[in-house]
Amino acid sequence: MQILITGATGFVGRALCQHLHGQGHQLLVVSRKPDDAQASIGVPVTAARSAVDFADRQVDGVVNLAGEPIFNRRWSDSQKERLMQSRIEATRDIGQLCSRMATPPAVMVSASAMGWYGDHGSHEVTEQTPPADTRKFDHRLCQRWEEEALALAGEPMRVACIRIGLVLDRDGGMLKPMLPMFRLGLGGRVGDGRQYMPWIHRHDLVRIIDFLLQREGADGIWNAGAPNPVTNAEFTRTVAGALNRPAFFVMPAAVLRPVLGEMSELLLGGARMKPARLEEAGFTFDYPHLEQAMAAIVEGRGDRAL
């Protein structure tokens, strides 16, 4: 297949490109710096600034991962607009590509996030669960992103949106800045620690994207989180245990809210998100439990061959 990927130089995109290249696929990537893309990704790619630049190429599938990083900076009004527009514009760019092609791609897998659900406490959340609060920015961001992607569905292109949990691996995501602190014994829970943290090893997320690209009829919404989400307190204990370090510190909610503002809700709330549709479809996780995922990451086995 020839697969077009946006967000290819990011934490998930690089691993996905390496996996798909290993499967024998040809990769077309959208990058703000196309001349640097191949060196950043580490495998052969054809890069361009816009998806529309590939209108004269055969594109069999699309993976849409592009978007301003959610934790990049405090959520000012201008930053919220950047977060929203980066996702909308990248997705609309794919729509413009499709409109110019004689034969559009057969499939698109488009990213979304667990923030669609909001804070559901300890209640189990599946793809059928409604959002906790449609007024929250994280829900509105995911909702608009999904709407733009699903609007492209039709003959011949099916669209699958994946609501992604916290992606774990040692060279990026939330663990990259966290592991040095935990190694120093400075790790600890956030707030009361009872909020759930849907998580997924990057290895399994890449496999999920590949699974949905290949599986006929896989469309609509899919939860992309490990089948065993944990609370923040459990997450803290597991990370500290994998490093053989204590984790006595606590970041009180009263301190976090003034520092991070509205973004603090992502850390103080959560959803016990379950990958119901993936399990029903027969997908098997290589890292279903956080203990084995963290052991692999700490021991340097997190990027084992896919």
Secondary structure of the chain as H, E, C letters:
CEEEEECCCCHHHHHHHHHHHHCCCEEEEECCCHHHHHHHHCCCCEEECCHHHHCCCCCCEEEECCCCCCCCCCCCHHHHHHHHHHHHHHHHHHHHHHHCCCCCCCEEEEEEEHHHCCCCCCCEECCCCCCCCCCCHHHHHHHHHHHHHHCCCECCEEEEEEEECEEEECCEECHHHHHHHHHCCCCEEECCCCCEECEEEHHHHHHHHHHHHHCCCCCEEEEECCCCCEEHHHHHHHHHHHCCCCCCEEECHHHHHHHHHHHHHHHHCCCEECCHHHHHCCCCCCCCCHHHHHHHHHCCCCCCCC
**pLDDT > 70: percent of the chain:** 98
Please give the domain boundaries of the chain with CATH numbers for all domains.
2-298 (3.40.50.720)
pLDDT over 60 at 73, yes or no: yes
- Identify whether the C-beta of residue 87 lies closer than 8 Å to the C-beta of residue 145: yes
Whether pLDDT at 268 is above 60: yes
* Cα distance between residue 106 and residue 119, in whole Å: 35
pLDDT higher than 70, residue 63: yes
pLDDT of res. 263: 79
Q: Predicted confidence band at 306 (pLDDT cuts at 50, 70, 90)?
A: very low
Cα first-last separation, the chain: 18
Closest CA to 205 of 71, 135, 122, 113: 113
Cβ(281)–Cβ(220) below 8 Å = no
> Tokens for 215?
């599986």
Q: Which two tokens stand for residue 114?
A: 């667990």
- Beta-carbon contacts of residue 78 (< 8 Å; ≥ 6 apart): none
Considering Cα of 140, then 144, then 145, then 149, what sign does the dihedral take? Answer: positive
Report yes or no on whether pTM surpasses 0.85. yes
| pLDDT digit string, tens, across residues 195-213 | 999 999 999 999 999 999 9
Residues 209-236 have pLDDT tens digits of 999 999 999 999 999 999 999 999 999 9
In contact, 187 and 126? CB cutoff 8 Å: no
Instruction: Give dist(CA 205, CA 169) in Å, integer.
Output: 11
What is the sign, positive or negative, of the torsion defined by CA atoms of 234, 240, 246, 251?
Answer: negative
User: Is the pLDDT score of 304 beyond 60?
Assistant: no
* Local confidence band at 301 (pLDDT 50, 70, 90 cut-offs): low
How does residue 155 score in pLDDT terms, banded at 50, 70 and 90? Answer: confident
Read off the tokens for 124: 């189990």
pLDDT digit string, tens, across residues 84-115: 999 999 999 999 999 999 899 999 999 999 99
pLDDT confidence band for 303 (50 / 70 / 90): low
